[in-house]
Structure 1
Amino acid sequence: MAREDRYGLPISTTSDEAASAYREGIDLMLAGWTGATDAQERAIAADPDFALPHIARARLHAFYQQGDLARQKAAAAREFVARRGTERERSHVETLALAIEGRLPEALASTLKHVDAWPRDAVVLSLPLGAFGLFAFSGMADHDRARHELCERVAAHYGEDWWFLTMSGWAMTENGDVARGRRVTERGFALRRENAHAAHAVLHAMFEDGSIDEADRLVDAWIPSYDRAGILHGHILWHQALGALEHGDAARALAIYADVLQPTATQAPPLNVVTDAASLLWRLSAYGHAVPKTLWTEADATAQRLFPKSGLPFADVHMALFAAATQNREALAARLAVIEQRLADGKLPAGPVVPAICRALAAFADEDYRACAGELAPVLGEVVRIGGSHAQRELVEDTFIVALIRSGDLPRARALLDTRLHRRPSLRDARWLAGMG
């Protein structure tokens, strides 16, 4: 009897134990839940030549920036699937391997071709989705729309699937259809509460529609069920810290940082470690709250170890936050030189917005607010190209607003705040606007 994954696609193993463990591991991975690694290791132990758990395990390694291990597992998967695998499995393995190897344009092209042929291959479909997916990190200015349109194209193949509802709802939210996105995401969350990606996507919808207190209650009620080792544990509490800042409660935001976000406390993947820490500390400081210098220096030391070289624009921008806040002009200049050279060589798909943000952050840290605003004004519409979510990218716009206020350009600050308040309710924006009279 042929074995299948949960989506009805044949899988090349003769072991019921391996098939069951593989299915369990994929569901846990798609839910951002703990146990995925153990499940795939059980699948490998039950059938060492079964390619799919090897490539799934490689992807889990890649989440945590364990590059050598990820590439080893991907190589093994390629070898096994060549000997025993269907056409779909060979394409599945190759597509994931390209992403693991950092060959992002090739991986995206392979993904779209694969999804056209096998739309119910959820693992491959997951690659371009989310704030850290292939679309988000492609440098495209319309990656939010691209994710939404891809989900719409395959929606008929999924129906009321908890994973697909989660990701398609979030794509709607990020693409501006917040009310519908929230409804769809909440349907997915109701179908599987042990789904960190759903909790996270609902929090994004609540951020966009201004449901700050409701988001706070959701985190308080749900987070006790989620292990601290969960891939999104710290980031979900980062969202709660943003809510605290909406209320001007810096003490609570710093307490959340100390508990789960600072590098000595977190178990998050490296990209989240760096971006969550840098963005929360920067927001605290930009909003006028005191941030102990030791928090910056400790987090910066970790960040320099995790991302010593320029590469991913989203990471580079957050590394610039560290360099600016710690006044490490040498580190920022070195990173900026590499970024500008990549731009000159045509190897920076996100374009000029990346170095412009880095220069602006340096100017802000030097209290040259007019220069900061001057750098950001021409590129605000291009910030989306760095990837991440709207909630994460709003840090750049916040920096611009604060720079306008501190440089005395109140008319432009008022105009931007008015626009933002029409887009989504914000206690902080309302306070800023009231403070300008």
Structure 2
Amino acid sequence: MSRQDRYDLPFSTNSDLAADRYRAGVDLLLSLWPGAAEALDEAIAADPDFALAYAARARLQAIRAELTEARATIVKAAELVARNGTERERSHVEVISFAINGQSAKALAAALAHTDKWPRDIVILSMPLGAFGLFAFSGMADHDQARVDLCERHARHFDANDWWFLTYRGWAHGENGNVPLGRELTQRSLELRRQNVNAVHAVAHVLYEAGANEDAERVITGWLPEYDKSGVLHSHIAWHAALIALERGDSERAIEIYNEHVAPSSSGVPVNVVSDTASFLWRVQAYGHSVPAGLWADAAKYASGYFKQPGFPFADFHMALVAAATGDKAAVEERVAALGKLIEAGTLPAGTVVPAICRAAVAFAQENYALCAEILAPVAREVVRIGGSGAQREIVEDTLLISLMRSGQGAKAHALLEKRLHRRPSPRDARWLNQLMTV
């Protein structure tokens, strides 16, 4: 007997309870709301042979960086689906298995092929999307457009008020430059399902791109208390609030938010904790504020336990920021050398931009601003290859801009600021432009 998900796709279980708990668990998984693990565990308990419940559980474990557990769980899912799964279910499990086992290129190709056949299989459709999705970490320079193309190709299969699809379609358009459409879609998705972390995250990003900082601050401060601190994106949503405070020059409030919500803890996943702590503290320092004693040391202590193996460009860059800021030039040089070997072997799709921005971080930390600008200027357009979001990658352009200003290259800094202000209103950029014009 088959049961169906809420998109009318059948799955193999004989238990109504397992089917109900699976549907609930998938919605919680795709909204990143607490309770997904419990719901999926209940589905498995109701039907220990339910392959897709194990696959969803493995996907959640991978999101939470519980990789040992995820690998064991997806093996169980593969064993079960091989015995009694349908073609869709076997493909579904295979895509997740590729991703969990670090075969990201295979995972992306398989996910795209799968969604061409079964576009409403949203667990799989979700995987290429988002700031940390398979497209973002593919090394592609045009991954923002690729996400839009994927969403638009399958838009006809989703209702206009589908909260999940609105979230990711809006995110894709907002990151790709269509900010008004992105704002409309993401805000509607949040209205439809308020207990949706991915929606508020998408809204925060699209409002950032719109320069609507006051609106973003209202959304975050009004919503964050509803989301338990144990949630995997609690600290990252707060990071957005800290950036907003820093944008208006209120470093005291920004650091207060950082200390309360963002500073290294066990609640966030390592890639978020390392990137958010490193990029925030780097911004504080680069923007001319003082980083309170101990904060960099705490960030470095946390980071030391992760991403020791180079080859994950988004993490490589942020690990380089931590090392550069704490004076560990040797660690950056070692990472750059290892990245060079990966490039020679053809196994680093993001390419030469990765070691370049790592070297630039050292130059900036050593106040060799001319060298930093010299390194960053030729690769600035390629930074998109490291993945993440526009808001996360903006730190590289900020570092270039500040280096230009501090190395006496005012005309280049002026041109870059005008281009940025045309793209996104920014009080900080406006202040910097005014400073240049009054020199």
TM-score bin, normalised by smaller chain = over 0.9
C-alpha deviation, 1:311, in angstroms: 2.4
- Write out aligned runs for 1:65-144 (5 A): 65-144=65-144
- Write out aligned runs for 1:132-171 (5 A): 132-159=132-159, 160-171=161-172
Query: What is residue 370 of structure 1 aligned with on the other side?
Result: 370
Deviations 1:11-63 (A, max 9, x none): 10001111111110100011111110111111111111101111111111111
C-alpha deviation, 1:332, in angstroms: 1.0
Distance 2:432 2:111 in 1: 44
Letter in 2 for 1:49: D
Query: What is residue 180 of structure 2 aligned with on the other side?
Result: 179
3-state SS of the aligned residue for 1:378?
coil
C-alpha deviation, 1:6, in angstroms: 1.3
Query: What is residue 338 of structure 2 aligned with on the other side?
Result: 338
Query: What is residue 52 of structure 2 aligned with on the other side?
Result: 52
Distance 2:304 2:374 in 1: 28
Q: Does the CA-based 8 Å contact 2:311-2:348 persist in structure 1?
A: no
3-state SS of the aligned residue for 1:305?
coil
Distance 2:98 2:257 in 1: 36
Distance 1:410 1:236 in 2: 34
3-state SS of the aligned residue for 1:11?
strand
Q: Does the CA-based 8 Å contact 2:54-2:73 persist in structure 1?
A: yes
- Write out aligned runs for 1:25-424 (5 A): 25-159=25-159, 160-264=161-265, 267-424=267-424
Q: TM-score, normalised by structure 2?
A: 0.98
Distance 1:59 1:118 in 2: 18
Distance 1:402 1:358 in 2: 16
| Stretches (4+) displaced over 2 A | none
Report the count of equivalent residues.
436
3-state SS of the aligned residue for 1:129?
coil
Distance 1:43 1:233 in 2: 26
Unaligned regions of 5+ residues in structure 2, if any? none
Q: Does the CA-based 8 Å contact 2:311-2:342 persist in structure 1?
A: no
- C-alpha RMSD of the superposition: 0.9
C-alpha deviation, 1:292, in angstroms: 2.5
Q: Does the CA-based 8 Å contact 2:64-2:232 persist in structure 1?
A: no
Distance 2:393 2:108 in 1: 22
3-state SS of the aligned residue for 1:110?
helix
Letter in 2 for 1:323: A
Identity %: 57
3-state SS of the aligned residue for 2:20?
helix
3-state SS of the aligned residue for 2:332?
helix
Deviations 1:291-338 (A, max 9, x none): 124111111111110222212100000000001000101211111111
C-alpha deviation, 1:97, in angstroms: 0.8
C-alpha deviation, 1:257, in angstroms: 1.1
Deviations 1:60-117 (A, max 9, x none): 1111222111100010000000112111000000001101111000000000100000
Q: Does the CA-based 8 Å contact 2:81-2:90 persist in structure 1?
A: yes
3-state SS of the aligned residue for 1:372?
helix
Q: Does the CA-based 8 Å contact 2:138-2:349 persist in structure 1?
A: yes
Distance 2:197 2:107 in 1: 25
3-state SS of the aligned residue for 1:3?
strand
Distance 1:308 1:292 in 2: 26
3-state SS of the aligned residue for 2:291?
coil
Letter in 2 for 1:243: I
Deviations 1:247-276 (A, max 9, x none): 101111111111111114x51111101011
Q: TM-score, normalised by structure 1?
A: 0.99
3-state SS of the aligned residue for 2:305?
helix
Kindly indicate whether residue 21 of structure 2 is the aligned counterpart of residue 21 of structure 1.
yes
Letter in 2 for 1:255: E
Distance 1:287 1:309 in 2: 31
Letter in 2 for 1:263: P
Distance 2:397 2:104 in 1: 27
Distance 1:62 1:380 in 2: 31
Distance 1:20 1:309 in 2: 41
Distance 1:263 1:185 in 2: 29
